[in-house]
């Protein structure tokens, strides 16, 4: 296993959404190459301060150290019969070896959610478990990581010499199904899965992600591995305190006609507590998934809506069998 399999790309030339400079063009080509060949890359120069990342990790760790009865007040109906939410919220570690908290767009209000009545656009009353300072940190982080994700998506649109603002067709902020998740791996007494390929004990099963991009912060304990599509060998994603990990998902594979393939990844069983903070960048629930989106300047109104695309994709995840 090698540590240099995962490219590191400085994207500072893109963070101001200026895609016309020579340095921006070179960066976009690096992203293209990494997305096609590996499906994973690390980004530096992303504009997120280390203090902000540490702050958001502290918010997550404090939550997971709350009593179980307190955390379950944010659980979906499956784990708390008193609640109406089905998608957003907390799931316990007896589900799949890890605890998790799924948070949607914090701009979604209770009124907006009830009026829209969509299965994935749910209001979560975070005030039950978080103070105002923590909620503000969560909101600010969601805003910045969403904006960063959109910048990466716009760079792929620019590859085909189209206006980057075409991304607005796929992403409408209050309709997006994007999710900020906290994964907490406790002291696991046994692996979630033994890899059928190489017999390695896993703390998270082998899988691909559903959305466009996942942007992840993993702590220094690491454990994340990526599979080489050709050799089937596994490679560690090294910890870099200044970097965020990016990977391509099934939605991007679909929209790019298979050019940017979703890539298998897994987490090793390491018997020690660890936290990861992935952000799943996902289109609006009513966005039409059309394979010509990334190479056609015309707006296409045909194709399956993303909500149904996601429905199928989530069936393979135990924590979403609700």
Question: What is the average per-residue pLDDT within 216-239?
Answer: 86
Question: What is the average per-residue pLDDT within 220-248?
Answer: 88
Q: Please tell me which residue, 72 or 220, carries the higher pLDDT value.
A: 72
* Residue 132 CB partners (closer than 8 Å, separation 6+): none
Nearest to 103 by CA among 181, 185, 216: 181
Question: What is the average per-residue pLDDT within 280-285?
Answer: 95
**pLDDT tens for residues 135-159?**
999 999 999 999 999 999 999 999 9
**Are 209 and 313 spatial neighbours (Cβ–Cβ below 8 Å)?**
no
Adjacent-strand bridge partners of 274: 185
Say what the pLDDT of residue 37 is.
Answer: 92
pLDDT of residue 77 exceeding 70, the answer is yes
Say what the pLDDT of residue 2 is.
Answer: 44
**pLDDT tens for residues 291-304?**
888 877 666 667 78
Domains, in order of start, for the chain: 8-320 (2.60.120.330)
Question: What is the average per-residue pLDDT within 175-192?
Answer: 83
Say what the pLDDT of residue 300 is.
Answer: 64
Question: What is the average per-residue pLDDT within 219-239?
Answer: 85
- φ/ψ of 274, rounded to 5, equals -150, 155
Kindly state the percentage of the chain with pLDDT values over 70.
89
Instruction: Compute the distance between CA of residue 299 and CA of residue 246 in angstroms, rounded to an integer.
Output: 27
β strands within the chain, DSSP E: 8-10, 40-44, 89-91, 99-103, 179-185, 193-194, 201-207, 213-218, 224-227, 234-236, 244-248, 265-268, 274-281, 288-289, 304-305
Instruction: Compute the distance between CA of residue 185 and CA of residue 189 in angstroms, rounded to an integer.
Output: 11
Q: Which burial class, exposed, middle or buried, applies to 190 when counting CB atoms under 10 A from its CB (0-12, 13-18, 19+)? A: exposed
pLDDT of residue 1 exceeding 50, the answer is no
**Are 147 and 55 spatial neighbours (Cβ–Cβ below 8 Å)?**
no
Question: What is the average per-residue pLDDT within 180-191?
Answer: 80
pLDDT of residue 67 exceeding 90, the answer is yes
Question: What is the average per-residue pLDDT within 185-193?
Answer: 70
pLDDT of residue 315 exceeding 70, the answer is no
What is the residue-averaged pLDDT of the chain? 87
Say what the pLDDT of residue 31 is.
Answer: 96
* pLDDT class of 187 with cuts at 50, 70, 90: low
* Residue 94 CB partners (closer than 8 Å, separation 6+): none
pLDDT of residue 3 exceeding 70, the answer is no
Say what the pLDDT of residue 13 is.
Answer: 93
CA distances in angstroms from 280 to 246, 247, 274, 277, listed in the order given = 10, 10, 19, 10
pLDDT of residue 196 exceeding 90, the answer is no
Neighbours of 45 (CB within 10 A): 15
**pLDDT tens for residues 102-131?**
999 999 999 999 999 888 899 999 999 999
Instruction: Compute the distance between CA of residue 177 and CA of residue 312 in angstroms, rounded to an integer.
Output: 14
Model-level pTM? 0.91
pLDDT of residue 322 exceeding 60, the answer is no
**pLDDT tens for residues 42-53?**
999 999 998 999
Q: Please tell me which residue, 320 or 50, carries the higher pLDDT value.
A: 50
Say what the pLDDT of residue 168 is.
Answer: 92
Kindly state the percentage of the chain with pLDDT values over 90.
55
């Amino acid at each position: 296993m090698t540590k240099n399999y995962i490219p590191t790309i400085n994207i500072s030339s893109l963070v101001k959404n200026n895609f016309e400079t020579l340095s921006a063009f070179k960066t976009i080509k690096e992203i293209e190459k990494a997305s096609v060949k590996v499906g994973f890359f690390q980004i530096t120069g992303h504009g997120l301060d280390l203090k902000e990342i540490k702050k958001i990790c502290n918010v997550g760790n404090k939550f997971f150290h709350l009593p179980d009865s307190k955390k379950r007040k944010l659980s979906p109906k499956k784990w708390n019969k008193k609640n109406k939410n089905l998608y957003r919220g907390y799931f316990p570690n007896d589900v799949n070896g890890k605890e998790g908290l799924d948070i949607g767009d914090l701009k979604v209000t209770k009124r907006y959610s009830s009026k829209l009545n969509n299965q994935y656009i749910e209001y979560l009353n975070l005030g039950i478990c978080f103070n105002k300072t923590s909620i503000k940190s969560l909101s600010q982080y969601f805003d910045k990581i969403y904006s960063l994700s959109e910048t990466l998506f716009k760079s792929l649109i620019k590859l085909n010499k189209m206006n980057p603002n075409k991304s607005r067709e796929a992403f409408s902020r209050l309709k997006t199904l994007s999710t900020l998740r906290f994964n907490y791996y406790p002291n696991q007494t046994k692996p979630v899965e033994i890899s059928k390929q190489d017999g390695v004990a896993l703390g998270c099963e082998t899988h691909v992600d559903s959305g466009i991009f996942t942007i992840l912060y993993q702590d220094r304990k690491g454990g994340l591995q990526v599979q080489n599509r050709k050799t089937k060998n596994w490679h560690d994603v090294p910890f870099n305190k200044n970097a965020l990990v990016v990977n391509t998902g099934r939605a991007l594979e679909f929209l790019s006609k298979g050019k940017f393939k979703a890539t298998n990844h897994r987490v090793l069983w390491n018997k020690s507590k660890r936290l990861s903070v992935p952000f799943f960048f996902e289109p609006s629930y009513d966005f039409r998934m059309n394979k010509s989106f990334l190479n056609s300047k015309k707006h296409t109104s045909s194709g399956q809506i993303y909500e149904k695309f996601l429905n199928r994709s989530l069936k393979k995840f135990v924590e979403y069998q609700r």
